[in-house]
Amino acid sequence: MPITIADVATHAGVSKTTVSRVLNGKGELNPATAARVRQVIAELGYVPSAGRWGWPGAGPRSSGCWSPR
């Protein structure tokens, strides 16, 4: 079973939002917290799901269609 952001958050003692901010490099983060999250990511071998990073703003079960007018 793949490691999830929730797993990383639990092991690091932070919220899923904090893990997401570390992964995306956005938001204000305490450097020690970011380092702890990165360490847990490395220890657990977390790899972001490829399906989450396709279409901007799309979730893993979203699809889109483009057509000219």
Q: Which two tokens stand for residue 22?
A: 């570390």
For the chain, the structural domain boundaries read 5-48
pLDDT in tens, 3-56: 999 999 999 999 999 999 999 998 889 999 999 999 999 999 999 876 555 555
Q: Please provide the CATH number assigned to the domain covering 5-48.
A: 1.10.260.40
pTM: 0.70
Taking Cα atoms as reference points, which of 59, 63, 34, 62 lies closest to residue 49? 59
Taking Cα atoms as reference points, which of 39, 38, 49, 46 lies closest to residue 7? 46
pLDDT in tens, 50-64: 655 555 555 555 555
Crossing angle (nearest 10°) for helices 5-12 and 31-44:
120
- Report how far residue 1's alpha carbon sits from residue 24's, in angstroms, rounded to the nearest whole number: 23
